[in-house]
Amino acid sequence: MTKVTFASHPFLLGFEQLDRLVERTAKAGNDGYPPYNIEQRGETSYRVTLAVAGFGEPDLSITLENNQLVIRGRQSDEGDDRVFLHRGIAARQFQRSFVLADGVEVSGAALENGLLHVDLERAQPEAIVRTIAINGRKS
- Please, where in the chain does CATH 2.60.40.790 lie? 31-122
Enter the pTM of the model: 0.70
Residue-wise pLDDT for 89-101, tens only, equals 766 899 999 989 8
Return d(Cα 118, Cα 13) in angstroms, integer: 33
**Residue 104 to residue 107: CA distance in whole angstroms:** 9
CATH topology of domain 31-122: Immunoglobulin-like (2.60.40)
Report the DSSP beta bridge partners of residue 112: 115
Quickly count: other Cβ atoms within 10 Å of residue 107's Cβ.
Answer: 12
Q: What is the pLDDT of residues 88-138, one digit of tens each?
A: 776 689 999 998 988 899 999 999 999 999 999 998 878 888 898 888 766
Specify whether the CB–CB gap between 121 and 45 falls below 8 A.
yes
